[in-house]
Amino acid sequence: MAETAVKEKESAISFGKAERKLLTDPLNDNNPITVQVLGICSALAVTTLLNKAIVMSIAVIFVCAFANLITSLLRNYIPKQVRMIVQLVIIAFLVTLVELTLKAVAYPVYKDLSVFIGLIITNCIVMGRLEAFAMANNPYRSFLDGLGNGFGYGVILIVIAAIRELFGKGSLLNFQIIGPGPNYVLDTEAIAFLGWYQPNNLMVLFPSAMFVIGVLIWIQRAWNKKLVDIS
Amino acid sequence: MELVNIFITSAFIENLALAYFLGMCSYLAVSKTVKTAFGLGLAVIFVLGITMPINWIINTHLLSESGLFKTDLTFLRFILFIAVIASMVQLVEMVIEKFSPSLYNSLGIFLPLITVNCAILGGSLFMVSNEYNFPESVAFGLGGGFGWFLAIIAIAAIREKIKYSNVPPALRGLGMAFLLTGLMGLAFMSLMGIDPAIL
């Protein structure tokens, strides 16, 4: 990211190649989860169900983009010594907003996510982007960077959640797709598609998320050779 | 006896790292050698043991409805907890630097990292949702820290050994660390069936 920081041009709002790169880079080459290894904790905990993962992704995209924007606006007024605390307060403020909104609008999802909404504060993606990008770039570019990293995180989260929910419960977004679901009634014929499939309970447990991310990293690096670990 | 139960439960059965997968970022990033993992583990025990009681006091005597301000201020919980953690880490860093420069040198870089280790904030949030009292929260903090310490030492030792194995190039490093952690998590899950009351 150092070279993008150096290349900071006029603050005019334009959408050129460099801006597009800010949005697309985190999706693959610089993905927050599989390459930067940031924000793993929440990626593991909220991916048992697809709808939880989607809500979490939206929350992180929101917090990441606006924390970047606010920090970037204030970047010339924040003294170096206390910047960590200032950043944490900005993030904590946004997360509290998200938490209260979810509590009011979607209480069941809020209950499901429990402490993990709060843990967005210590989600290193947000903190890492503030430190690495927003402190050195103008508000518009920082906002795009936040959006891009939020999306990169969300994409991985949704892929993991889809795999885990499909194989663990046989459903997607709570619609039964394969195998007999919890509402299985003996005399219906609606479960004909792959009805023999027995949901694999391991996929709902925490360790399976580790396996799924490990395999995703494996696939990504086999395909994108420049990411392979030299050490 | 109750306190010993909480210590054992939080260290083994509800291990913060391997049962709840908290603090994974530093867990994966700093587990390349046992030596550094040892330093980070010690620092986590220390900070969890200190911040947990402080956050308990803040939560019960400042934020709750029966507290100092007689109003429900729980919406300030995140901001206050993270501020306590950040300032405690800073304070601990200064104290260690003053009194034990050798320990400071071995922990040095890891102390600031702990601020964003979600095991610390997560521990405090679990403490609130489990409704522990003061001594219980101390036991929970120390136990949780100890469990995290054991987990990071174990993965670091395995990763040191696995350097000599023939792993597919794309899986080297990070990918393998994830798969290993998954397997260790499975192993720790077998402890979940244990009822701490019989110990």
Give chain A's length. Answer: 231
Query: For residue B21, is it left (φ>0), alpha (ψ between -120 and 50) or beta?
Result: left
pLDDT at A231: 44
Tokens linked to B141: 């903090």
Q: Cβ atoms within 10 A of the Cβ of A120, count?
A: 27
Q: What is the pLDDT of residues B125-166, one digit of tens each?
A: 888 888 888 888 888 889 999 999 999 999 999 988 888 888
Q: Which residues contact A77 (CB under 8 A, 6 or more apart)?
A: none
Q: Which of B118, B173, B185 sits opposite A210 (nearest CB)?
A: B185
Residues B89-113 have a mean pLDDT of 74
pTM, to two decimals: 0.76
**Which among B21, B86, B172 is the nearest to A44, CB-wise?**
B21
- Does pLDDT of A8 surpass 60? no
**A188 three-class SS:** coil
Q: What's the rounded Cα separation, in Å, for the pair B14 and A174?
A: 28
pLDDT for res A183: 53
pLDDT at residue A11, rounded to an integer: 47
Q: What would the two tokens of residue A29 be?
A: 């080459």
pLDDT at B77 over 50: yes
Task: Using CA coordinates, name the residue in chain A closest to B114.
Answer: A122
Closest-CA residue of A relative to B184 is A207
ipTM, 2 dp: 0.73
Query: B82 vs A218: CB contact, 8 Å cut-off?
Result: no
Please state, in angstroms and as integers, the Cα–Cα distance from residue B105 to each residue in A189, B62, B65, B98, B125, following that order.
68, 36, 43, 11, 31
Q: Is the pLDDT of residue B71 over 80?
A: no
pLDDT, residue A10, reads 44
> Mean pLDDT of all residues in chain B?
81
Q: Which chain A residue has its CA at the smallest distance from B82's CA?
A: A88
- From chain A, pick out residues whose CB is under 8 angstroms from the CB of B117: 122
